[in-house]
Each structure stands twice: as C-alpha cells, then as structure tokens.
Structure 1
Amino acid sequence: MRTYRLSAIALTAASLVALLSGGASADDSPRPCDALKRIVAAAPDGFVSLTPDDGKGVAQPYGDDAQCSAAHRSFQCTWTPRQAAGSNADALEAVGADIASCLPEATHDQNSPGRQHFYLGGKDRRTEITLTTDGSNRLRVVVAGG
C-alpha cells in the first residue's frame, strides 16, 4: 500500500512539474487567440516580422491547408474549411466568434454570411481584420493596419 501511495505521489508530482514547466500536451497546435494577438500586435510596425506559420493558428481549428503571407501593410491567410466545420458561412461565423472573444477590444462592425469585419484603434492607427469567403470553398482572413 505504501509503495502505491509513493508511486501515485511521484506520478502526480511529475505531472505537475511538466504542466508548470510548459511540457508538451496532447494538442500542441497553435491556438487562435495566440495567433490573432501576435498578428495584431505586429500591425503598428508592419507585418514583415511575421512568418506564414504565425497565422496558421487562426485557421487550424477549421482547416489544415492554411496558406499565409505577410507584407508590410497586411497579413493574410486562406484555407479550406473541414467538412466538420459546416458550410463556409458556418466556418466564417466560428472564426468571427474566435476573433470577437480573443480580441474583446475590437469593434465588430459587419457581420454577414460572407463577410465579418473588425477594427481596433483610432483612425490614425487603425488595425482592421476582415474575414471573407474566397471562392466557393475557401475562407480568407486579412489583417491590415499600420
């Protein structure tokens, strides 16, 4: 009995150390909020510091084929939603909900079946996030600003 308790305590302690030290989890995929915040934070200085992988976390919950690119004034990603994400309109709504929950300071000024639009900041230093359908079976998110 005593050996069992010590083993259980040791296992619990090892699990806690792994958790607190940032050990790997079963799902190490990028998170939408982390990706969105990183992209928006880059906006004032231009997006050239970002890599295509920086945006994949926005799409990853909904599709596996995200293609992202950065330019000085914008960052964009396009992807094909998985069937499990529902229609393009459903996937667009889901990504829009991610944007709204991850960036609560953003103003959501357009919500339609084919387009979601958000902005942060004033007119002088505005960052805009536009999510649209791209053709019949792809979604596109564009973050622009500066």
Structure 2
Amino acid sequence: MHPSRRARRIHHSIHAMLINTALACATSVPLSAHADDAPSPCTALKRIVAAAPTGFSQLTPEDGKGVAQPYGADAQCGAAKGSYECSWTPSGGAGSGTAALQAVAADIASCLPDATHDVNSPARQHFYIGPRETRTQITAMPAGANKVKLVVSGK
C-alpha cells in the first residue's frame, strides 16, 4: 500500500473516532435542569443560621429558597427585623402542610446536628442553637390555610 494512502486511512479513522467521541459526550450532557440541580436545603439552612449573629443583613431572598424548593416552588424569602423568613405553598411530594413541616424539621435536624429540637408538634417545629445569650431560634409553622413558614431569628 502506498504510504500516503495509509496515512489518509489512519487520519480518517482517527477523525471518525473523534467525531464519535464528541457525539457520545454531547448526548450524555443533560440539556435540562433536574432536581439535583436545585439548591441544597442543608446549604441554605447553614448559610441562614451563620448569618444570624450579623442580623441576616448579607442574605438575599434567594439564599433561603433552597430550604423550600424540595417542598414547594413559590418560596418568598427575606430578612425582616432580627430574623430571616421564608414561606411557601407545599406541593408535589410534600403533600399537606403537616407533612411539609415534618420534612423541614427532618432537614433541620439532619443538617444542623448542634440544634436542639424542643418542640415537635403538627402545628410547630422549633429548634435552637447556642447558649441562651446568643441563641439562634429556628421555627417552622403553618402560615394560613395552605402555606408553610420558616423563621430563623438570632439574639
């Protein structure tokens, strides 16, 4: 076989492999967002609790949405006087407001192992972190007939 023909065949084979590899990679990249792309409840909770000593001033409304997103898509969050609050309508797998409260409480307990869970009722979930003089309080409760509210406050 002539050396230039052989070189051309090798070049075409390599080129074909590169194209096939590129196509394989392109088809394996997701083109849409999945649930795993949503902010983590733990990341959001830790960020909010860490902001308590400074009065939540550095937080934005987006910072808290990761807490609610597993349970509802319409979260409204923001810093208020001495607290950070989020409220949302439970949807999808969250089911009722009571189930959503229990799920948020489970997230708080697992994400913030230093938190003390001192109230566990269908109408209120309450945790606190730290000594009394610098305590951060975390409360999840119903907000009206079909909403859930999370309030994190600090002293």
For 1:117 and 1:103, the matched residues in 2 are separated by 13
Task: Tell whether 2:132 aligns with 1:123.
Answer: yes
Residue in 1 that maps onto 2:89: 80
- Residue 132 of structure 1 is aligned with which of 133, 138, 141? 141
Partner AA of 1:39 in structure 2: I
Residues matched between the structures, number = 134
Q: Normalized against structure 1, the TM-score is what?
A: 0.82
**TM-align CA RMSD:** 2.5
Gaps of at least 5 residues in structure 2 are 1-16
> % of aligned pairs identical?
62
Select which of 111, 127, 140 maps to 2:120: 111
The equivalent residue for 2:80 is 71
**Which structure's CA Rg is the greater one?**
2
Matches within 5 A, 1:1-146: 7=21, 26=34, 27-146=36-155
**Which one has a larger percent helix, Structure 1 or Structure 2?**
2
Structure 2 letter corresponding to 1:107: T
1:83, distance to aligned residue in structure 2 (A): 4.3
1:41-93 deviation per Cα after TM superposition (whole angstroms, max 9, x unaligned): 00011101100000000000000000111035100001000043111111110
Give ranges in structure 1 of 5+ residues lacking alignment: 16-24
Matched residues in 2 for 1:45 and 1:83: separation? 35
